[in-house]
Amino acid sequence: MAKPQDIMTTQWDDLVINSDIPVLVDFWAPWCGPCRRVAPLVEELAGEYEGRAGFVKINTDENQALAAKYGIMSIPTLLVFKGGLPVGQVVGARPKSEIKKRLDEALV
């Protein structure tokens, strides 16, 4: 079953920008407790959307420039990318239905 892949800035272009399908990016950090609480929910979605959307995780401590580039000032933040651009965002520990909405919007 698909699990969100922990990636680094070096993989960003390949796995997110140039992806054929929409990608949900989970911005997190090891010290962020709420991020840990959101992780199982994102994992579940990764399974449900397998094949239709990609799921990756970015550690903001280790990829600060990337996080700053996308204006991340709050974690957990989930950004949905389509065609290399952020088309949807979910900030904080929000309901599964809200995250699904952003994904479904990108899949249209």
Partner 1 sequence: MAEQYDVIIIGGGACGLTAGLYTSRAQLKTMLLEKAVPGGQIATTSLVENYPGFPEGVDGPDLAERMEEQAKKYGMGFRYAEVEGIEISGDDRIVHSSEGDFIGKTVIVTSGAEHTKLNVPGEAELTGRGVSYCATCDAAFFREMRVVVVGGGDGALDEGLFLTRYASEVIVVHRRNELRATKILQERAFANPKMRFVWDSVVEEIIGEDGKVAKVALRNVKTGERSALDVEGVFIYIGLAPQSDFVKGLLPMDGGGHLEVNLWMETAVPGVFAAGDVRINAARQLVSAAGDGCTAAIRADHYLQALRAGERETASAH
Looking up tokens 């992806």, which residue turns up?
19
Q: Which of 15, 32, 39, 91 is catalytic?
A: 32
1 is catalytic: no
In whole angstroms, the minimum distance from the beta carbon of 63 to partner 1 comes to 14
DSSP code at position 49: T
Looking up tokens 């990764």, which residue turns up?
46
Within 10 A of 8 (CB to CB), how many other CB atoms are there? 12
Q: How far apart are CA 70 and CA 74, in angstroms?
A: 11
Pattern 11-50, partner 1, x by CB under 8 A: ------------------x-xxxxxxxx--x--x------
Cβ proximity to partner 1: between 15 and 41 the closer is: 41
Pattern 55-94, partner 1, x by CB under 8 A: ----------------xxxxxxx-----------x-xxxx
In whole angstroms, the minimum distance from the beta carbon of 49 to partner 1 comes to 14
Q: In the beta sheet, which residues pair with residue 25? A: 56, 79
The CA–CA distances, whole Å, from 55 to 14, 30, 39, 41, 90 equal 13, 18, 11, 12, 14
Nearest one of 83, 39, 84 to 57, comparing CA atoms: 39
85 is catalytic: no
| Active centre residues (catalytic) | 32, 35
Residues that bind partner 1 (CB under 8 A): 29, 31-38, 41, 44, 71-77, 89, 91-97
